[in-house]
Amino acid sequence: MPPNAPPGLRLTRLTLRDFRSYPALETGFRGRIVVVTGENGAGKTNLLEAISLLGPGRGLRGARMGELGRRAPAGPLPWAAAGRFENAYGRFDIGTGTTPAAEGCGSAERRAWRLDNIPLRSAGELAERVAAVWLTPQMDRLFQEGASGRRRFLDRLVWALEPAHAREVAAYENAMAQRNRLLAEDSRDTAWLAALEDAMARHGVAVAAARRGLAARLNAVLAAGVTGAFPAARLDLLCPLCEALGRDPALAVEERLRTALAANRARDAAAGAAAAGAHRADMALWHLPKRLPAELCSTGEQKALLVAVVLAHAALIAEARGFAPLLLLDEVAAHLDAPRRQALFAALAALPAQAFLTGTDPALFAPLSGLAEGFRARPGILVPDEEFPLPECA
Protein backbone atom coordinates (compact mmCIF):
# COMPACT_ATOMS: atom_id res chain seq x y z
CA MET A 1 0.00 0.00 0.00
CA PRO A 2 1.49 3.41 -0.91
CA PRO A 3 2.70 5.34 2.15
CA ASN A 4 0.58 8.41 1.30
CA ALA A 5 -2.56 6.45 0.42
CA PRO A 6 -5.80 7.87 1.83
CA PRO A 7 -7.37 5.90 4.68
CA GLY A 8 -9.84 3.20 3.80
CA LEU A 9 -13.42 2.81 4.88
CA ARG A 10 -14.01 -0.50 6.68
CA LEU A 11 -17.28 -2.34 7.29
CA THR A 12 -16.73 -4.33 10.47
CA ARG A 13 -20.25 -5.59 11.20
CA LEU A 14 -23.39 -6.18 9.15
CA THR A 15 -26.85 -6.87 10.54
CA LEU A 16 -29.86 -7.80 8.39
CA ARG A 17 -33.50 -8.41 9.22
CA ASP A 18 -35.93 -9.87 6.68
CA PHE A 19 -33.77 -8.65 3.82
CA ARG A 20 -34.16 -10.68 0.61
CA SER A 21 -33.17 -14.28 1.52
CA TYR A 22 -31.90 -13.42 5.02
CA PRO A 23 -34.44 -13.74 7.88
CA ALA A 24 -31.79 -12.53 10.33
CA LEU A 25 -28.05 -12.17 10.00
CA GLU A 26 -25.35 -10.62 12.13
CA THR A 27 -21.77 -11.11 11.05
CA GLY A 28 -18.46 -9.38 11.59
CA PHE A 29 -15.78 -8.66 9.01
CA ARG A 30 -12.14 -8.30 9.97
CA GLY A 31 -10.47 -8.67 6.60
CA ARG A 32 -9.60 -5.89 4.19
CA ILE A 33 -10.42 -8.37 1.41
CA VAL A 34 -13.50 -10.53 2.02
CA VAL A 35 -14.34 -13.49 -0.24
CA VAL A 36 -17.85 -14.97 -0.18
CA THR A 37 -18.43 -18.17 -2.17
CA GLY A 38 -21.44 -20.39 -2.57
CA GLU A 39 -23.89 -21.94 -5.00
CA ASN A 40 -26.18 -19.87 -7.16
CA GLY A 41 -29.11 -18.65 -5.08
CA ALA A 42 -27.24 -18.89 -1.77
CA GLY A 43 -27.53 -15.13 -1.15
CA LYS A 44 -24.12 -13.80 -2.22
CA THR A 45 -25.47 -10.94 -4.35
CA ASN A 46 -28.12 -10.18 -1.73
CA LEU A 47 -25.31 -9.64 0.78
CA LEU A 48 -23.51 -7.17 -1.50
CA GLU A 49 -26.79 -5.41 -2.24
CA ALA A 50 -27.43 -4.92 1.48
CA ILE A 51 -23.98 -3.37 1.87
CA SER A 52 -24.56 -1.08 -1.12
CA LEU A 53 -27.80 0.19 0.46
CA LEU A 54 -25.93 1.51 3.49
CA GLY A 55 -24.98 4.53 1.38
CA PRO A 56 -26.95 6.93 -0.83
CA GLY A 57 -28.98 5.53 -3.72
CA ARG A 58 -30.98 2.41 -4.50
CA GLY A 59 -28.10 -0.03 -4.36
CA LEU A 60 -26.39 -2.21 -6.91
CA ARG A 61 -29.62 -3.66 -8.30
CA GLY A 62 -31.51 -0.36 -8.36
CA ALA A 63 -34.47 -2.20 -6.81
CA ARG A 64 -37.65 -0.66 -5.48
CA MET A 65 -37.86 -0.69 -1.71
CA GLY A 66 -40.89 -3.00 -1.80
CA GLU A 67 -38.80 -5.66 -3.57
CA LEU A 68 -36.21 -5.92 -0.80
CA GLY A 69 -38.24 -7.43 2.03
CA ARG A 70 -38.20 -11.18 2.57
CA ARG A 71 -41.24 -12.80 1.00
CA ALA A 72 -44.10 -13.96 3.21
CA PRO A 73 -47.58 -15.28 2.28
CA ALA A 74 -49.04 -11.82 2.82
CA GLY A 75 -46.32 -10.13 0.76
CA PRO A 76 -42.85 -8.69 1.40
CA LEU A 77 -41.95 -8.00 5.03
CA PRO A 78 -40.53 -4.75 6.37
CA TRP A 79 -36.76 -4.98 6.19
CA ALA A 80 -33.73 -3.43 7.83
CA ALA A 81 -29.97 -3.35 7.25
CA ALA A 82 -27.34 -1.87 9.53
CA GLY A 83 -23.57 -1.58 9.33
CA ARG A 84 -20.80 -0.56 11.68
CA PHE A 85 -18.02 1.28 9.91
CA GLU A 86 -14.55 2.47 10.84
CA ASN A 87 -12.36 5.04 9.18
CA ALA A 88 -9.47 7.30 10.13
CA TYR A 89 -11.84 9.46 12.20
CA GLY A 90 -13.42 6.70 14.27
CA ARG A 91 -16.41 4.37 14.36
CA PHE A 92 -19.99 5.05 13.25
CA ASP A 93 -23.20 3.11 12.61
CA ILE A 94 -25.56 3.43 9.64
CA GLY A 95 -29.00 1.85 9.46
CA THR A 96 -31.68 1.85 6.78
CA GLY A 97 -34.94 0.07 6.01
CA THR A 98 -38.67 0.50 5.72
CA THR A 99 -40.26 2.47 8.54
CA PRO A 100 -43.15 1.31 10.77
CA ALA A 101 -45.11 4.37 9.67
CA ALA A 102 -44.72 3.38 6.03
CA GLU A 103 -45.81 -0.15 6.86
CA GLY A 104 -48.90 1.12 8.65
CA CYS A 105 -49.80 3.26 5.66
CA GLY A 106 -49.67 0.21 3.44
CA SER A 107 -46.57 1.43 1.59
CA ALA A 108 -43.38 -0.58 1.29
CA GLU A 109 -41.67 2.16 -0.72
CA ARG A 110 -40.82 4.54 2.13
CA ARG A 111 -37.33 4.26 3.49
CA ALA A 112 -35.60 5.72 6.52
CA TRP A 113 -31.94 6.19 7.46
CA ARG A 114 -30.14 6.54 10.77
CA LEU A 115 -26.61 7.66 11.56
CA ASP A 116 -25.46 6.64 15.04
CA ASN A 117 -29.16 6.02 15.81
CA ILE A 118 -30.13 9.60 14.90
CA PRO A 119 -32.80 9.84 12.14
CA LEU A 120 -31.69 11.50 8.91
CA ARG A 121 -33.89 13.41 6.50
CA SER A 122 -32.31 11.80 3.45
CA ALA A 123 -29.52 9.49 2.40
CA GLY A 124 -27.68 12.50 1.00
CA GLU A 125 -26.48 13.22 4.52
CA LEU A 126 -24.46 10.00 4.37
CA ALA A 127 -22.48 11.05 1.32
CA GLU A 128 -19.58 12.45 3.33
CA ARG A 129 -19.31 9.26 5.43
CA VAL A 130 -19.62 6.30 3.09
CA ALA A 131 -19.12 5.44 -0.58
CA ALA A 132 -19.16 2.19 -2.52
CA VAL A 133 -18.44 1.21 -6.11
CA TRP A 134 -19.45 -2.09 -7.62
CA LEU A 135 -19.26 -4.43 -10.55
CA THR A 136 -22.03 -6.96 -11.19
CA PRO A 137 -22.73 -9.58 -13.87
CA GLN A 138 -25.61 -7.42 -15.15
CA MET A 139 -23.05 -4.82 -16.15
CA ASP A 140 -21.53 -7.33 -18.58
CA ARG A 141 -24.41 -6.42 -20.94
CA LEU A 142 -23.60 -2.71 -20.75
CA PHE A 143 -22.16 -2.57 -24.25
CA GLN A 144 -24.82 -4.67 -25.97
CA GLU A 145 -27.91 -2.91 -24.60
CA GLY A 146 -29.33 0.55 -25.16
CA ALA A 147 -27.87 3.91 -24.20
CA SER A 148 -30.08 4.29 -21.12
CA GLY A 149 -28.10 1.65 -19.20
CA ARG A 150 -24.82 3.32 -20.08
CA ARG A 151 -26.20 6.70 -18.95
CA ARG A 152 -27.20 5.20 -15.59
CA PHE A 153 -23.73 3.69 -15.26
CA LEU A 154 -22.14 7.04 -16.07
CA ASP A 155 -24.39 8.93 -13.65
CA ARG A 156 -23.55 6.51 -10.83
CA LEU A 157 -19.88 7.28 -11.42
CA VAL A 158 -20.64 11.01 -11.24
CA TRP A 159 -22.78 11.10 -8.13
CA ALA A 160 -20.35 8.95 -6.14
CA LEU A 161 -18.10 12.00 -6.43
CA GLU A 162 -20.77 14.72 -6.57
CA PRO A 163 -23.87 13.70 -4.57
CA ALA A 164 -25.78 16.78 -5.82
CA HIS A 165 -25.70 15.29 -9.33
CA ALA A 166 -28.53 12.93 -8.39
CA ARG A 167 -30.79 15.90 -7.66
CA GLU A 168 -29.90 17.53 -10.98
CA VAL A 169 -30.73 14.33 -12.89
CA ALA A 170 -34.03 13.92 -11.00
CA ALA A 171 -35.00 17.56 -11.60
CA TYR A 172 -34.22 17.26 -15.31
CA GLU A 173 -36.18 14.03 -15.71
CA ASN A 174 -39.15 15.44 -13.76
CA ALA A 175 -39.32 18.56 -15.97
CA MET A 176 -38.98 16.42 -19.11
CA ALA A 177 -41.78 14.06 -18.00
CA GLN A 178 -44.12 17.00 -17.32
CA ARG A 179 -43.30 18.55 -20.70
CA ASN A 180 -43.94 15.23 -22.48
CA ARG A 181 -47.32 14.97 -20.75
CA LEU A 182 -48.34 18.51 -21.69
CA LEU A 183 -47.33 17.98 -25.31
CA ALA A 184 -49.26 14.70 -25.43
CA GLU A 185 -52.33 16.53 -24.15
CA ASP A 186 -51.86 19.20 -26.85
CA SER A 187 -51.69 21.84 -24.14
CA ARG A 188 -51.76 25.50 -25.17
CA ASP A 189 -50.24 26.63 -21.89
CA THR A 190 -47.12 28.11 -23.44
CA ALA A 191 -46.01 29.75 -20.20
CA TRP A 192 -45.95 26.40 -18.41
CA LEU A 193 -44.15 24.76 -21.32
CA ALA A 194 -41.59 27.55 -21.35
CA ALA A 195 -40.99 27.14 -17.61
CA LEU A 196 -40.47 23.40 -18.01
CA GLU A 197 -38.11 23.93 -20.94
CA ASP A 198 -36.17 26.44 -18.88
CA ALA A 199 -35.82 23.82 -16.12
CA MET A 200 -34.72 21.22 -18.68
CA ALA A 201 -32.10 23.59 -20.05
CA ARG A 202 -30.70 24.57 -16.65
CA HIS A 203 -30.63 21.12 -15.13
CA GLY A 204 -29.70 19.39 -18.39
CA VAL A 205 -26.61 21.53 -18.90
CA ALA A 206 -25.62 21.00 -15.26
CA VAL A 207 -25.94 17.23 -15.77
CA ALA A 208 -23.87 17.38 -18.96
CA ALA A 209 -21.18 19.50 -17.29
CA ALA A 210 -20.89 17.03 -14.40
CA ARG A 211 -20.62 14.08 -16.79
CA ARG A 212 -17.98 15.92 -18.80
CA GLY A 213 -15.99 16.70 -15.66
CA LEU A 214 -16.14 13.08 -14.50
CA ALA A 215 -14.96 11.78 -17.88
CA ALA A 216 -11.97 14.13 -17.90
CA ARG A 217 -10.93 13.19 -14.37
CA LEU A 218 -11.45 9.47 -14.93
CA ASN A 219 -9.47 9.49 -18.16
CA ALA A 220 -6.61 11.26 -16.40
CA VAL A 221 -6.49 8.50 -13.77
CA LEU A 222 -6.73 5.78 -16.42
CA ALA A 223 -3.88 7.40 -18.36
CA ALA A 224 -1.74 7.47 -15.22
CA GLY A 225 -1.73 3.66 -15.17
CA VAL A 226 -3.21 3.12 -11.70
CA THR A 227 -5.09 0.06 -12.98
CA GLY A 228 -1.91 -1.99 -13.28
CA ALA A 229 -2.05 -4.88 -15.73
CA PHE A 230 -5.57 -4.10 -16.91
CA PRO A 231 -5.86 -2.67 -20.42
CA ALA A 232 -5.43 1.05 -20.97
CA ALA A 233 -8.90 2.50 -21.51
CA ARG A 234 -10.59 5.76 -22.39
CA LEU A 235 -14.17 6.87 -21.78
CA ASP A 236 -15.74 9.05 -24.49
CA LEU A 237 -18.99 10.97 -24.16
CA LEU A 238 -21.35 10.92 -27.14
CA CYS A 239 -23.33 14.01 -26.22
CA PRO A 240 -23.95 17.23 -28.17
CA LEU A 241 -24.37 19.17 -24.92
CA CYS A 242 -20.98 18.00 -23.67
CA GLU A 243 -19.39 18.90 -27.00
CA ALA A 244 -20.99 22.35 -26.88
CA LEU A 245 -19.68 22.90 -23.33
CA GLY A 246 -16.18 22.33 -24.68
CA ARG A 247 -16.63 25.32 -26.98
CA ASP A 248 -19.04 27.74 -25.35
CA PRO A 249 -20.03 29.07 -21.91
CA ALA A 250 -22.71 27.11 -20.05
CA LEU A 251 -25.23 29.99 -20.26
CA ALA A 252 -24.94 30.03 -24.06
CA VAL A 253 -25.46 26.26 -24.22
CA GLU A 254 -28.50 26.58 -21.95
CA GLU A 255 -30.02 29.26 -24.17
CA ARG A 256 -29.55 27.18 -27.33
CA LEU A 257 -31.17 24.14 -25.71
CA ARG A 258 -34.05 26.26 -24.42
CA THR A 259 -34.59 27.70 -27.91
CA ALA A 260 -34.39 24.25 -29.56
CA LEU A 261 -36.95 22.77 -27.17
CA ALA A 262 -39.40 25.61 -27.83
CA ALA A 263 -38.93 25.36 -31.60
CA ASN A 264 -39.41 21.58 -31.69
CA ARG A 265 -42.60 21.21 -29.62
CA ALA A 266 -44.64 19.87 -32.53
CA ARG A 267 -42.00 17.33 -33.53
CA ASP A 268 -41.46 16.24 -29.92
CA ALA A 269 -45.23 15.87 -29.41
CA ALA A 270 -45.43 13.56 -32.43
CA ALA A 271 -42.41 11.53 -31.27
CA GLY A 272 -43.48 11.41 -27.61
CA ALA A 273 -40.03 12.53 -26.46
CA ALA A 274 -37.64 15.46 -26.74
CA ALA A 275 -35.15 15.19 -29.59
CA ALA A 276 -32.50 17.15 -27.71
CA GLY A 277 -31.27 17.19 -24.16
CA ALA A 278 -29.20 15.41 -21.54
CA HIS A 279 -31.31 12.24 -21.92
CA ARG A 280 -29.84 11.71 -25.39
CA ALA A 281 -26.29 11.22 -24.12
CA ASP A 282 -24.35 8.00 -24.55
CA MET A 283 -20.85 6.86 -23.65
CA ALA A 284 -18.22 4.68 -25.28
CA LEU A 285 -15.35 2.83 -23.64
CA TRP A 286 -12.24 2.13 -25.70
CA HIS A 287 -9.67 -0.64 -25.40
CA LEU A 288 -6.69 1.54 -26.33
CA PRO A 289 -4.04 -1.13 -27.07
CA LYS A 290 -6.40 -2.76 -29.60
CA ARG A 291 -8.01 0.52 -30.71
CA LEU A 292 -11.40 -1.12 -30.35
CA PRO A 293 -14.64 0.06 -28.76
CA ALA A 294 -15.76 -2.16 -25.91
CA GLU A 295 -18.74 -3.53 -27.85
CA LEU A 296 -16.33 -5.17 -30.32
CA CYS A 297 -14.15 -6.71 -27.60
CA SER A 298 -14.49 -10.20 -26.17
CA THR A 299 -16.48 -10.82 -23.00
CA GLY A 300 -13.27 -11.18 -21.01
CA GLU A 301 -11.86 -7.97 -22.44
CA GLN A 302 -15.07 -6.11 -21.64
CA LYS A 303 -14.89 -7.35 -18.05
CA ALA A 304 -11.24 -6.26 -17.85
CA LEU A 305 -12.16 -2.79 -19.14
CA LEU A 306 -14.91 -2.46 -16.54
CA VAL A 307 -12.52 -3.57 -13.79
CA ALA A 308 -10.09 -0.87 -14.96
CA VAL A 309 -12.83 1.76 -14.77
CA VAL A 310 -13.95 0.63 -11.31
CA LEU A 311 -10.38 0.70 -9.95
CA ALA A 312 -9.76 4.13 -11.46
CA HIS A 313 -13.07 5.39 -10.08
CA ALA A 314 -12.17 4.12 -6.61
CA ALA A 315 -8.89 6.04 -6.83
CA LEU A 316 -10.79 9.18 -7.84
CA ILE A 317 -13.15 8.87 -4.87
CA ALA A 318 -10.24 8.36 -2.50
CA GLU A 319 -8.59 11.53 -3.81
CA ALA A 320 -11.76 13.63 -3.78
CA ARG A 321 -13.39 12.40 -0.58
CA GLY A 322 -10.34 11.64 1.54
CA PHE A 323 -11.13 7.95 2.02
CA ALA A 324 -11.10 4.89 -0.20
CA PRO A 325 -14.59 3.49 -0.92
CA LEU A 326 -15.85 -0.04 -0.43
CA LEU A 327 -15.43 -2.24 -3.52
CA LEU A 328 -18.27 -4.71 -4.17
CA LEU A 329 -17.27 -7.16 -6.90
CA ASP A 330 -19.95 -9.72 -7.71
CA GLU A 331 -18.75 -12.76 -9.71
CA VAL A 332 -15.88 -10.59 -10.92
CA ALA A 333 -13.46 -13.48 -11.55
CA ALA A 334 -15.78 -15.55 -13.72
CA HIS A 335 -14.77 -14.05 -17.11
CA LEU A 336 -11.19 -13.14 -16.27
CA ASP A 337 -8.35 -15.41 -17.34
CA ALA A 338 -5.72 -16.47 -14.79
CA PRO A 339 -3.27 -13.59 -15.49
CA ARG A 340 -6.08 -11.01 -15.18
CA ARG A 341 -7.33 -12.60 -11.95
CA GLN A 342 -3.81 -12.36 -10.58
CA ALA A 343 -3.68 -8.72 -11.68
CA LEU A 344 -6.98 -8.01 -9.94
CA PHE A 345 -5.90 -9.66 -6.71
CA ALA A 346 -2.60 -7.76 -6.77
CA ALA A 347 -4.44 -4.47 -7.33
CA LEU A 348 -6.83 -5.16 -4.45
CA ALA A 349 -3.95 -6.06 -2.14
CA ALA A 350 -2.26 -2.74 -2.98
CA LEU A 351 -5.36 -0.57 -2.57
CA PRO A 352 -6.38 0.85 0.82
CA ALA A 353 -10.01 0.00 0.00
CA GLN A 354 -11.92 -2.85 1.64
CA ALA A 355 -13.12 -5.22 -1.08
CA PHE A 356 -15.90 -7.82 -1.04
CA LEU A 357 -15.70 -10.48 -3.77
CA THR A 358 -18.23 -13.21 -4.55
CA GLY A 359 -18.14 -16.30 -6.73
CA THR A 360 -19.39 -19.84 -7.08
CA ASP A 361 -15.96 -21.48 -7.38
CA PRO A 362 -13.68 -21.09 -4.32
CA ALA A 363 -10.72 -22.34 -6.37
CA LEU A 364 -10.68 -19.09 -8.38
CA PHE A 365 -9.81 -17.20 -5.20
CA ALA A 366 -7.11 -19.62 -3.96
CA PRO A 367 -4.32 -17.05 -4.58
CA LEU A 368 -5.96 -14.87 -1.91
CA SER A 369 -5.53 -17.48 0.82
CA GLY A 370 -3.55 -15.80 3.57
CA LEU A 371 -4.64 -12.35 2.34
CA ALA A 372 -8.43 -12.57 2.45
CA GLU A 373 -11.07 -13.48 4.99
CA GLY A 374 -13.46 -16.08 3.57
CA PHE A 375 -17.07 -17.10 4.07
CA ARG A 376 -19.35 -19.72 2.54
CA ALA A 377 -22.86 -18.49 1.78
CA ARG A 378 -25.69 -20.89 2.56
CA PRO A 379 -29.39 -20.06 2.49
CA GLY A 380 -29.90 -17.36 5.11
CA ILE A 381 -26.46 -17.66 6.76
CA LEU A 382 -22.73 -17.08 6.33
CA VAL A 383 -20.21 -19.64 7.57
CA PRO A 384 -16.47 -18.93 7.96
CA ASP A 385 -14.44 -20.66 5.25
CA GLU A 386 -11.53 -22.65 6.64
CA GLU A 387 -9.74 -22.35 3.30
CA PHE A 388 -9.30 -18.63 3.98
CA PRO A 389 -7.91 -18.19 7.48
CA LEU A 390 -7.97 -14.60 8.63
CA PRO A 391 -4.62 -12.91 7.89
CA GLU A 392 -2.70 -11.84 10.97
CA CYS A 393 -2.29 -8.33 9.55
CA ALA A 394 -6.03 -7.87 8.82
Binding-site residue ranges for ATP: 38-45
State the amino acid at position 205 in one-letter form: V
Residue of 87, 98, 36, 37 lying closest to 64 (CA atoms)? 98
Known binding-site positions: 38-45
What is the gyration radius of the CA atoms in the chain, in angstroms?
22
Is residue 168 within 8 A of residue 203, CB to CB? The reply is yes
Please state, in angstroms and rounded to a whole number, the distance separating the CA atoms of residues 290 and 302: 12
